Amino acid sequence: MHESAADPWSATALDVKRRLTSLRESGEAGAVATVVDVEGSAYRRPGAKMVLTPEGDHLGGITAGCLEGPVVDLAGRVFESGEPVSETFDLMDDEEWGLGLGCNGVIDVLVEPVDDSWDPVLAALDAGDSVATVTAVDGDAPLGARAVVETDGSVTTPSDRPGLPDAVVAAIRDEAVDCAKTGTWIARTVSTEDGDVTVFVDGVEPAPKMLVFGGQPDTGPVSNLARHVGFAVTVATARGGHADPERFPAADEVVSLRPADLGEHADERTAVVLMSHNKLDDELALASALETDAPYVGLMGPRERFEEIREELAADGVEFTEEQLARVATPVGLDVGGGEPVQIALSIVSEALAVLNGRDGGRLRGREGAIHGEREIIVDD
């Protein structure tokens, strides 16, 4: 199985999740730094996380590096006290930070212990489910007080730290369910008889998956890049001799299967890439993949090959709906103009990532408005 990224700044949400799991299973001390609010521009958006240890190690990035030292210092305070801390960093303050940082924003960071409040989050992610953490970040409740809300509305409170007041949980539950289902976030100030509490609601989703069907050498660059950008990767091959994990070290799983059974490994979070270079195998795998809810099915080869596959399947009584055809990408990939194997892989993985993120893969210079979505603050009157 692929290990977490060695370079802290290359770590993905999947790497951070696995590091948290390791710390909880071993009982080692750890802290989590989370961006809980941004005004203006910043390298990362709310929900971005970094895991830190008492030895000074860290995994993940919440800025481009300019706050690494201050966040390590905040984590030191957490390790000393066992209590969460928060800090606001005004990166527009030239006297404190100097010129040329490029962030031009104000960032609020919460640093908290790795304690049992993370257990229901990790359990949900392991089960392939989404979840939302609801955490007090200001007001008349202890900093870091938490509730964890699942997509069915059930609520878990921790024993290692204070839970949120019942009135706050009741007021925020529906929004938290929505955040869990959509992987989004909100900040909300809830007024209660005991005072106002501002909470950060963080929707946490399982990592996206990529299912690569093929066992030829060009499968390697695709699986490598997919894992590096945060996909949980499965390589599937119809040739048992190719199902060797050592051939695809970046893959989380390498399996041998019948092409017609490919769909058993795909769901609504899966990008499927068909690159077996065997038309019959791709034909059967395509039909199987399109029976699932996979939002992206990339098929290697020219349009003419796809039309031949459609005709042969139609002769066997398999017709695709418009909805199914809309999920097929062939020729596969974005038009980046490269022809080297790793450039082709970059094109494929980029297109899959764009589709799963609801984007079209165009140039950001032509996009109007915020790149990552707008800041959402709700005040309960």
Q: Which residue has the higher pLDDT, 273 or 98?
A: 273
Q: Each residue of 242-264: pLDDT tens digit?
A: 788 999 999 999 999 999 999 99
Vertex 222 angle, CA 219 and 223, to 5°:
85
Least confident of 71-75, 143-147, 199-203, 283-287: 71-75
pLDDT of residue 4 exceeding 60: no
What are residue 96's phi and psi, to 5 degrees?
-90, -40
Within 10 angstroms of residue 293's Cβ, the number of other Cβ atoms is: 12
* pLDDT value for 381: 40
* pLDDT value for 239: 84
Q: Each residue of 83-115: pLDDT tens digit?
A: 999 999 887 755 554 444 555 678 899 999 999
What's the CA dihedral at 83, 380, 62, 158 to 10 degrees? 40
Tell me, letter by letter, the H, E, C secondary structure of the chain: CCCCCCCHHHCCHHHHHHHHHHHHHHCCCCEEEEEEEEEECCCCCCCCEEEECCCCCEECCCCCCCCHHHHHHHHHHHHHHCCCEEEEEECCCHHHHCCCCCCCEEEEEEEEECCHHHHHHHHHHHCCCCEEEEEEEEECCCCCCEEEEECCCCEECCCCCCECCHHHHHHHHHHHHHHHHHCCEEEEEEEECCEEEEEEEEEECCCCEEEEECCCCCHHHHHHHHHHCCCEEEEEECCHHHCCHHHCCCCCEEEECCHHHHHHHCCCCEEEEECCCCHHHHHHHHHHHCCCCCCEEEECCCHHHHHHHHHHHHHCCCCCCHHHHHCEECCCCCCCCCCCHHHHHHHHHHHHHHHHCCCCCCCHHHCCCCCCCCCCEEECC
Per-residue pLDDT, averaged over 123-145, amounts to 96
* pLDDT value for 65: 67
Q: 231, 221 in Cβ contact below 8 A?
A: no
Q: Each residue of 344-373: pLDDT tens digit?
A: 999 999 999 999 999 989 888 877 766 665
Q: Each residue of 41-75: pLDDT tens digit?
A: 777 889 999 999 999 889 998 876 677 888 999 99
Q: Which residue has the higher pLDDT, 244 or 148?
A: 148
Mean pLDDT of the chain: 90
Q: Each residue of 20-46: pLDDT tens digit?
A: 999 999 999 999 999 999 887 777 889
- CA-to-CA separations, 297 to 1, 80, 91, 273, 284, in angstroms, rounded: 24, 50, 42, 6, 13
Q: Is the dihedral of CA 323, 324, 325, 328 positive or negative?
A: positive
> pTM of the prediction?
0.87
Domains of the chain: 1-114 (no CATH), 127-206 (no CATH), 209-354 (3.40.50.720)
* pLDDT value for 1: 46
